[in-house]
């Protein structure tokens, strides 16, 4: 079996190593020539996870045609702002029946599309497009640390294909049919992680972080419900699991950016310094736009959007949230989670 991974950042590099245990060959497509050279010459990606040695059956290329030739399955791990353009260029080399799994987390600005919807709109045959999410830091996945994720697809056979490819004693894979729930959780938890980082950066303690995470989860649940997903998904790996790890871990670029932002570093400077895209910053804008379109109250997202893009000061932003009068804990959700 030949597997192609499109995107050779930290997560792409780690998942290539996971897939290599079951696949005969894994080909990593990378935008960066330095990554391609390092992987092919030394089995190391010098730009991401540079202390991780990839298996011998992983190679890299900067050519879409070469990367996708003969692929039996495709895994997409491209930062959300670049996903559509990347898949548009790759699409001519993707066969109509090849299953595709997206690991990218985000909501597309202006369209409100989830990442699987972006991929499907570029390659057609949406029934073969799946999504994976969960509390998975690449730094731990590549070391074989016990982890888990959930895979959702419109067709059970597609989800089973990727489950069988990636599952191992150290990487547990669960199945779902709630694409909307899984992907909405995956995108919006990054927003909450930035807010947690900002709170930590200005000196708030554990009580405050727990408050942000739980109110953030309620906010995510309202969005999932409004989009037609199952709010129960928010209690699982893609929701609560990923929210906790992203809001608390030192590996989280979204949380660490929030800390840096609270201490005066701009988004542009942070991304230039770390060579990483802060997915939650892009998601703050697209999620706020989607929430307004759906008529969903999303106070944490709205405040972060104003702080990142409209000059709202940190103290003023936190003051707005503190001044909100508490109402029912689970407002905006029916007992079943659906209107």
DSSP for 269-302? HHHHHHT---HHHHHHHHHHHHHHHHT---HHHH
Residue 76 φ then ψ, to 5°: -105, 120
Q: 9-18, 72-81, 158-167, 322-331: which has the minimum mean pLDDT?
A: 322-331
Q: Given a cut of 50, is residue 338 above it in pLDDT?
A: no
pLDDT at 326 (0 to 100): 76
Q: Given a cut of 50, is residue 39 above it in pLDDT?
A: yes
Residue 178 φ then ψ, to 5°: -95, 75
Cα gap 160→158, rounded to integer Å: 5
Cα gap 215→87, rounded to integer Å: 35
pTM > 0.85: yes
- Orientation of helix 179-201 relative to helix 206-226, angle to 10°: 150
Give 176-225 pLDDT, tens digit per residue.
999 999 999 999 999 999 999 999 999 999 999 999 999 999 999 999 99
Structure tokens at 140: 């731990």
Sequence ranges of the chain with CATH classification 1.10.1040.10 = 187-323
Give 271-308 pLDDT, tens digit per residue.
999 988 899 999 999 999 999 999 999 999 999 999 99
Cα gap 179→182, rounded to integer Å: 5
pLDDT at 38 (0 to 100): 98
Q: Given a cut of 90, is residue 227 above it in pLDDT?
A: yes
CA distances from 77 to 74, 205, 269 (A): 10, 34, 23
Is 105 annotated in the active site? no
Rg (CA), the chain: 19
pLDDT at 334 (0 to 100): 63
Q: Given a cut of 90, is residue 323 above it in pLDDT?
A: no
- Higher pLDDT among residues 324 and 140, named by residue: 140
CATH entry, 187-323, from 3.40.50.2300, 1.10.1040.10, 3.30.420.590, 3.30.300.180:
1.10.1040.10
Out of 105, 163, 189, 285, which one is annotated catalytic? 189
CATH number of the structural domain 2-177: 3.40.50.720
Which residues have C-beta within 8 Å of that of residue 173, sequence separation ≥ 6? 132, 148, 149, 150, 151, 162, 163, 166, 167
Sequence ranges of the chain with CATH classification 3.40.50.720 = 2-177
Which residues have C-beta within 8 Å of that of residue 103, sequence separation ≥ 6? 11, 12, 15, 75, 76, 77, 131, 132, 133
Cα gap 319→339, rounded to integer Å: 32
Cα gap 245→331, rounded to integer Å: 25
């Amino acid at each position: 079996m030949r597997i192609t991974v499109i995107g050779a950042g930290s997560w792409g590099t780690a998942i290539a190593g996971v897939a290599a245990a079951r696949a005969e060959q894994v080909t990593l497509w990378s935008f960066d020539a330095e990554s391609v050279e390092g992987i092919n010459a030394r089995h190391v990606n010098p730009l991401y996870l540079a202390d991780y040695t990839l298996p011998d059956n992983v190679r890299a290329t900067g050519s879409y045609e070469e990367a996708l030739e003969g692929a039996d399955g495709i895994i997409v791990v491209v930062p959300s702002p670049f996903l559509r353009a990347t898949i548009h260029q790759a699409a001519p080399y993707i066969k109509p029946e090849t299953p595709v799994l997206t690991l990218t987390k985000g909501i597309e600005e202006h369209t409100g599309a989830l990442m699987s919807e972006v991929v499907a709109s570029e390659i057609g045959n949406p029934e073969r497009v799946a999504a994976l999410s969960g509390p998975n830091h690449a730094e731990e996945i590549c070391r074989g640390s016990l982890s888990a994720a959930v895979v959702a697809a419109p067709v059970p056979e597609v989800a089973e294909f990727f489950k069988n490819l990636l599952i191992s004693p150290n990487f547990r894979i669960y199945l779902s049919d709630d694409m909307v729930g899984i992907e909405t959780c995956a995108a919006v938890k990054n927003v909450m992680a930035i807010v947690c980082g900002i709170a930590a950066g200005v000196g708030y303690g554990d009580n405050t972080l727990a408050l942000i995470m739980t109110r953030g989860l309620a906010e995510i649940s309202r969005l999932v419900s409004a989009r037609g997903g199952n709010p129960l998904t928010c209690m699982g790996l893609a929701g609560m699991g990923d929210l906790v790890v992203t809001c608390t871990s030192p590996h989280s670029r979204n949380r660490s950016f929030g800390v840096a932002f609270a201490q005066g570093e701009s988004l542009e400077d942070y991304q230039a310094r770390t060579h990483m895209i802060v997915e939650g910053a892009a998601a703050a804008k697209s999620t706020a736009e989607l929430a307004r379109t759906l008529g969903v109250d999303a106070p944490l997202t709205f405040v972060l959007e104003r702080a990142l893009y409209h000059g709202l000061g940190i103290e003023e932003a936190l003051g707005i949230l503190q001044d909100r009068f508490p109402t029912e804990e689970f407002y905006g959700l029916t007992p079943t989670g659906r209107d």
